[in-house]
Amino acid sequence: MQMKQTYTIGVFGALILIAGLIAPVSAYSLLFFNPSVVESNPGEEPAIDLIMEGCNAGISGYALYLTLDNPTVASFGEISFPSWVSMNTVEHINSTTILIQGADLGNQVEPALSIANLATVNIHALTAGYATLSVEPVVIDDDRNGRYDPVSKTASIVISGAGPNPMIPASQ
Amino acid sequence: MLITAIWGGVQAEQGSDYVPGEVIVRYANLGSGTAVASVASSLNAQIGAETIYTDEVMGINGMQVVKVPDTISVPDAVQFYKSNEHVAYAEPNYVITLPTPLGKAENIIQGLDNETPGMTIPNDPDFDLQWGLYNTLNSSAGRADISAPEAWNISTGSSDVIVAVVDSGVDYNHEDLAANCLKGFDFVNYDEDPMDDNGHGTHCAGIISAVTDNSIGIAGVSWNSKILPVKVFDATGVSNTALEIMGIVYAKEQGADIISCSWGSHIYSEALKDAIDSTDALFVCSAGNDGYDNDEIPYYPAGYNSANIISVGASDEYDMLTWFSNYGAVSVDLLAPGEDIYSTLPGDYGFMDGTSMSVPFVSGTAALIKSEKPGYDAGQIKNLILNSVDQKFWLNSTCATGGRLNAYKPLSLVLPLNADFKAEPVSGTIPLNVQFVDMSSGEPETWHWTFGDGFESTVQNPTHLYMKPGKYSITLTISKEGLSSIAEKENFIHVKPPYQPVKAFPDGKGGFYPVPTDADDDGLFEDINGNGWLEYEDPKLLFDQILFAMKEEPIGQFDFDKSGFIGFGDVVKLYQMV
């Protein structure tokens, strides 16, 4: 019984230790799309910027999953990167999700900046309907040996058609 | 020495190369002084000459100075004596003047850094004008001084060492010289008052051995050595071979260990060379101020092939040959500071330029060595000095050693206290326990170790446990009876992260690259793609496979930015390392 108690405390202590070893997390930050609501017509290709706010410790690089939840309405087009993202990749994970990565090799996004454009997402508007564009950060590292843990916001994609406009969920 | 004739002093006609009517005659070894006197008397009578300095006065067996009548020229008289089988050689009594330039320079004020470990900085208020001793003006390009503060940490000289300044005399009453001056002699006026009426000798004496750390004036190279003033140049800076020979012989008789000769000429005198060769003292001689190549146009006495002569040219505060200094890849041994040199003057202080000023830096350094190693002869001291110059490649064609005097290095070579150490192991993964072993000579009494990670020890042979990866520089400072010595080894201990197997990176096509390698053995596996070297593809592959690395690879081997985790910071750092 005594052994078990000791073991429990040991595991708890180890968790605290691991937590202490994990990279320091930068202060509040936010990932969002601009514009947050996109209205388009089939065949068009609107562009949406992925913005990070609160990157006060600079950015050394990031890896993010982007998801369009309704592939019959909209799909990913070209992903372009601002000039500071001097090394980048786009990997298609499946029909609705891609992984984008970028790194700031030139140290252009310095700690003095508080907002940065991470990428520009072009959307193929396919058919009338509604889709949600979401971002899930895997990792965003700063320039001070730290790591961000941002809050994410989605964007709503509305593709107009011959029928009535689709409703936009109020919860967005 | 006895004087047996009317004293001639310095008599020279303006522009003349020799003293009118005077000839130096060296007779061959005839077995006795009586025989020499007999032959000399006979020869002198034949041309009506009279002996003005006998060999007793000159101090060299068989050497006399004669005065020939006005009716016979000096060259003819020289030929007359040379033609006799009992005469080894005969030559005019050459006139020699003190080298030029001797101008005063403008004051140079330099800010001194605070005293650093391993240095002894004296409190003399004008020390900061003495760039030749400690030059902080151009420290970014390397100090162009003789490392005097470091030398003084080992030795400040002994009062048992005598340096003869054969020159224009010395102001023996000077506030910054008096305590170090012995009674000397004036061969110009032949009396016991070698007061300097020119200034040249006093300036040289101050460089050698001004009273130091006395809160007055300047510092000398050898703080405590004794100056023997020997006046052979008159107030106008003129002397002759006979006076110089008498001065050298006098210095020898007074027990001078070092004879400082800040003068010379392009005339070869066998008589002067004989006088130098007759002593065991170390002769430090100036290379001259003509801007000539002494290999082509010899300058004496610096250019004699005597084993006990050091020939000295002048360097400036940028470690360049001065514009005026003679040079010679064969005939000039080394350079020493010789421009804008601040030292004592009769009743005063001031600046002078010239190889004359370079000589006393070497003389003072020789005195420091002699202080530490009284048993060393002139040849040993000379070799020590010449083998430990600060070599500069651009000085290779200016002197045989290709370097400028360093006072510290020769002393460090004879220093009985010399710090050294070893360690075992010097490399390994954390936790790394290292055994340090004192290898010092001189039986130190205290030890002070710094291990590079903030920890220290005063144990002679300590062990130290390293807990963080990195390269650590070690210093050991030992001391004994006020002396100290420091040994430092940079990046000596290499502590690597705990080793964990690394995995091959995916190639994105279903296969894998070769396993990453640590080409430079620093514990970090910079060679991500395993091809054996670091190039752009490595940070690119790490970037592409960052999620794999974060999940699969050991942190320590890929934490290039020391963040404690694998991330994009490591990509950026690795990219910067390419």
Q: Which of B553, B547, B524, B527 is nearest to B538 (CA)?
A: B527
| pLDDT attached to residue B115 | 42
Structure token pair of residue A126 = 């396919």
For residue B543, list chain A residues with Cβ-Cβ distance below 8 A: 61, 87, 89, 101, 103
pLDDT digits (tens, 9 = 90+) for A114-142: 889 999 999 999 999 999 999 999 999 99
Helix/strand/coil (H, E, C) string of B508-546?
CCCCECCCCECCCCCCCCCECCCCCCCCCHHHHHHHHCH
- CA angle, residues B530, B532, B537, in degrees to nearest 5: 60
Out of B380, B413, B446, pick the residue that ends a domain.
B413
Answer yes or no: do B183 and B314 share one domain. Answer: yes
Pairing type for strands A37-40 and A155-159 reads parallel
Answer yes or no: do B321 and B448 share one domain. Answer: no
For residue A137, list chain B residues with Cβ-Cβ distance below 8 A: none
Q: How far is CA B513 from the centre of its chain?
A: 59
Contact in structure between B402 and B459 (CB atoms under 8 Å): no
CA distance to partner chain B, nearest, from residue A126 (Å): 31
| B572/A contact by beta carbon, under 8 A | yes
Q: How far lies B431's CA from each of B435, B471, B492, B524, B562, in Å?
A: 13, 14, 16, 17, 18
For residue B512, what are the β-bridge partners?
B506
| pLDDT attached to residue B12 | 44
Answer yes or no: do B425 and B396 share one domain. Answer: no
Cα–Cα dist B257/B511, whole Å: 81
| Per-residue DSSP letter, A26 | P
Residues 6+ apart with CB under 8 A from B116: none
Answer yes or no: do B184 and B75 share one domain. Answer: no
- Catalytic residue, chosen from B356, B388, B412, B440, is B356
Average pLDDT score, chain A: 80
Residue B263's domain spans which residues?
A: 156-413
Domains of chain A: 27-159 (2.60.40.680)
Answer yes or no: do B480 and B524 share one domain. Answer: no
- Catalytic residue, chosen from B86, B174, B200, B464, is B200
First and final CA of chain B: distance in angstroms? 78
Does residue B271 lie within any of the structural domains?
yes
Contact in structure between B7 and B46 (CB atoms under 8 Å): no
| B118/A contact by beta carbon, under 8 A | no
- CA angle, residues B461, B467, B472, in degrees to nearest 5: 60
| B568/A contact by beta carbon, under 8 A | yes
Pairing type for strands B432-438 and B421-424 reads antiparallel
For residue A60, list chain B residues with Cβ-Cβ distance below 8 A: 567-569, 571-572
Out of B367, B393, B413, pick the residue that ends a domain.
B413
Instruction: Please list, residue by residue across A112-146, b when 16 or more beta carbons sit within 10 angstroms of its beta carbon and e when fewer do.
Output: eeeebbbbebebbbbebbbbbbbbebebbbbbbbb
> Do residue A63 and residue B540 have CB atoms under 8 angstroms apart?
no
Q: How many independent structural domains does chain B possess?
A: 4
> Do residue A145 and residue B547 have CB atoms under 8 angstroms apart?
no
CA distance to partner chain A, nearest, from residue B490 (Å): 27
- CA angle, residues B376, B373, B308, in degrees to nearest 5: 30
Mutate to test the interface with A, among B509, B572, B575, B577 (most CBs of A within 10 A): B572
Answer yes or no: do B281 and B425 share one domain. Answer: no
Contact in structure between B181 and B229 (CB atoms under 8 Å): yes
Residue B50: CB atoms within 10 A of its CB come to 12
Answer yes or no: do B451 and B397 share one domain. Answer: no
> Do residue B546 and residue A23 have CB atoms under 8 angstroms apart?
no
Peptide bond into B425 cis (omega under 30): yes
Nearest to A139 among B564, B567, B575 (CB): B567
**Sign of torsion, CA B187 B191 B195 B197?**
negative
CA distance to partner chain A, nearest, from residue B537 (Å): 12
Determine whether B270 is exposed, middle or buried from the number of CB atoms within 10 Å of its CB (0-12, 13-18, 19+). Answer: middle
Cα–Cα dist B380/A171, whole Å: 95
Q: Which of A63, A73, A58 is nearest to A27 (CA)?
A: A58
Does residue B179 lie within any of the structural domains?
yes
Q: Which of B327, B346, B347 is nearest to B338 (CA)?
A: B327
Cα–Cα dist B408/B154, whole Å: 8
> Do residue A60 and residue B567 have CB atoms under 8 angstroms apart?
yes
For tokens 């081997």, name the residue: B557
Structure token pair of residue A81 = 């990167």
The answer on pLDDT for A22 being more than 60 is no
| pLDDT attached to residue A26 | 54
| B536/A contact by beta carbon, under 8 A | no
B200 catalytically annotated: yes
B448 catalytically annotated: no
Does residue B104 lie within any of the structural domains?
no
Helix, strand, coil tally for chain A in percent (to 5): 10, 45, 45
Pairing type for strands B282-286 and B258-261 reads parallel
In this prediction the ipTM stands at 0.77
Q: Which of B248, B267, B266 is nearest to B92 (CA)?
A: B267
For residue B44, what are the β-bridge partners?
none
DSSP-H helix ranges across B28-117: 33-47, 55-58, 74-82
Answer yes or no: do B396 and B523 share one domain. Answer: no
pLDDT digits (tens, 9 = 90+) for A35-54: 999 999 999 999 999 999 99
| B565/A contact by beta carbon, under 8 A | yes
Q: How far lies B425's CA from each of A164, B114, B495, B500, in Å?
A: 80, 36, 10, 20
Does residue B11 lie within any of the structural domains?
no
Contact in structure between B198 and B345 (CB atoms under 8 Å): no
Answer yes or no: do B173 and B295 share one domain. Answer: yes
Nearest to B572 among A22, A61, A63 (CB): A61
> Do residue B540 and residue A89 have CB atoms under 8 angstroms apart?
no
Residue B435: CB atoms within 10 A of its CB come to 12
| B563/A contact by beta carbon, under 8 A | yes
Whichever domain contains B325, its CATH number is 3.40.50.200
Q: Which of B1, B234, B192, B217 is nearest to B126 (CA)?
A: B217
> Do residue B546 and residue A22 have CB atoms under 8 angstroms apart?
no
B348 catalytically annotated: no
Contact in structure between B556 and B498 (CB atoms under 8 Å): yes
Taking 70 as the pLDDT cut, the residues of chain B under it are 1-16, 32-33, 100-118, 136-142, 415, 442
Does residue B148 lie within any of the structural domains?
no
Cα–Cα dist B567/A155, whole Å: 28
For tokens 């959307």, name the residue: A123
Does residue B522 lie within any of the structural domains?
yes
Whichever domain contains B431, its CATH number is 2.60.40.10
Out of B96, B121, B145, pick the residue that ends a domain.
B96
Answer yes or no: do B489 and B511 share one domain. Answer: no
Whichever domain contains B29, its CATH number is 3.30.70.80
Does residue B312 lie within any of the structural domains?
yes
| pLDDT attached to residue B501 | 86
For residue A63, list chain B residues with Cβ-Cβ distance below 8 A: 546-547, 568
> Do residue A139 and residue B572 have CB atoms under 8 angstroms apart?
no
Structure token pair of residue B151 = 């030398």
Cα–Cα dist B246/B58, whole Å: 5
Find the closest chain A residue to B578 by CA distance: A105
Answer yes or no: do B460 and B521 share one domain. Answer: no
Residues 6+ apart with CB under 8 A from B406: B146, B147, B388, B389, B390
Contact in structure between B499 and B555 (CB atoms under 8 Å): no
Residue B77: CB atoms within 10 A of its CB come to 22
Answer yes or no: do B342 and B407 share one domain. Answer: yes
Does residue B184 lie within any of the structural domains?
yes
For residue B540, list chain A residues with Cβ-Cβ distance below 8 A: 87
Cα–Cα dist B213/B84, whole Å: 58
Contact in structure between B356 and B99 (CB atoms under 8 Å): yes
